[in-house]
Protein backbone atom coordinates (compact mmCIF):
# COMPACT_ATOMS: atom_id res chain seq x y z
CA UNK A 1 0.00 0.00 0.00
CA UNK A 2 1.09 3.58 -0.42
CA UNK A 3 1.21 6.10 2.41
CA UNK A 4 2.82 9.51 2.82
CA UNK A 5 5.74 9.47 5.25
CA UNK A 6 7.02 12.92 6.14
CA UNK A 7 5.41 14.24 2.96
CA UNK A 8 6.97 11.64 0.65
CA UNK A 9 5.07 8.76 -0.98
CA UNK A 10 6.24 5.40 0.39
CA UNK A 11 5.21 1.92 -0.72
CA UNK A 12 4.99 -0.38 2.30
CA UNK A 13 4.16 -3.96 3.19
CA UNK A 14 3.67 -2.96 6.85
CA UNK A 15 0.20 -3.28 8.30
CA UNK A 16 0.70 -1.21 11.46
CA UNK A 17 2.62 1.95 12.39
CA UNK A 18 5.42 0.17 14.30
CA UNK A 19 6.05 -2.08 11.30
CA UNK A 20 6.28 0.91 8.96
CA UNK A 21 8.80 2.61 11.21
CA UNK A 22 10.92 -0.54 11.45
CA UNK A 23 10.70 -1.05 7.69
CA UNK A 24 11.95 2.50 7.14
CA UNK A 25 14.71 2.01 9.75
CA UNK A 26 13.26 4.66 12.05
CA UNK A 27 14.02 4.07 15.74
CA UNK A 28 10.61 3.97 17.44
CA UNK A 29 12.18 4.78 20.81
CA UNK A 30 13.22 8.30 19.75
CA UNK A 31 10.45 9.53 17.44
CA UNK A 32 7.07 11.10 17.95
CA UNK A 33 4.43 10.28 15.34
CA UNK A 34 1.30 11.87 14.03
CA UNK A 35 -1.09 10.13 11.65
CA UNK A 36 -3.47 12.25 9.58
CA UNK A 37 -2.66 15.18 11.89
CA UNK A 38 -3.35 13.33 15.16
CA UNK A 39 -0.59 12.61 17.69
CA UNK A 40 -0.18 8.87 18.35
CA UNK A 41 1.07 7.63 21.73
CA UNK A 42 4.05 5.25 21.52
CA UNK A 43 1.98 2.62 23.29
CA UNK A 44 -0.36 2.60 20.27
CA UNK A 45 2.28 2.16 17.53
CA UNK A 46 1.69 -1.61 17.31
CA UNK A 47 -2.10 -1.28 17.48
CA UNK A 48 -2.57 1.42 14.83
CA UNK A 49 -3.50 -0.24 11.53
CA UNK A 50 -2.27 1.52 8.40
CA UNK A 51 -4.60 2.30 5.53
CA UNK A 52 -3.91 3.36 1.95
CA UNK A 53 -3.21 7.09 1.69
CA UNK A 54 -2.55 7.77 5.38
CA UNK A 55 -0.27 10.70 6.20
CA UNK A 56 2.40 9.77 8.74
CA UNK A 57 4.81 12.28 10.25
CA UNK A 58 7.74 10.85 12.23
CA UNK A 59 9.58 13.57 14.12
CA UNK A 60 12.92 13.21 15.90
CA UNK A 61 14.04 15.60 18.64
CA UNK A 62 16.71 18.06 17.57
CA UNK A 63 19.45 19.56 19.70
CA UNK A 64 20.73 23.04 19.37
CA UNK A 65 20.18 26.46 20.60
Q: Which fold has domain 2-59?
A: Ubiquitin-like (UB roll) (3.10.20)
pLDDT of residue 61: 79
pLDDT of residue 60: 87
Mean pLDDT, range 26-54, rounded to an integer:
96
**Whole-number Å distance between alpha carbons of 64 and 14:** 34
Secondary structure class of 18 (helix, strand, coil) = helix
Q: Tell me how far CA of residue 51 lies from CA of 2, 4, 33, 55, 60, in angstroms.
A: 8, 11, 16, 9, 23
Regarding pTM above 0.85, the answer is yes
pLDDT of residue 62: 72
Q: Considering all CA atoms of the chain, what is the largest pairwise distance in Å, rounded to the nearest integer?
A: 39
What residue ranges do the domains of the chain occupy?
2-59
Q: Indicate the Cα dihedral angle 60, 19, 36, 44, nearest 10°.
A: -80
Mean pLDDT, range 30-54, rounded to an integer:
97
Amino acid sequence: MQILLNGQPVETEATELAGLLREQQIDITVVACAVNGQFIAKSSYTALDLQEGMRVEALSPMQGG
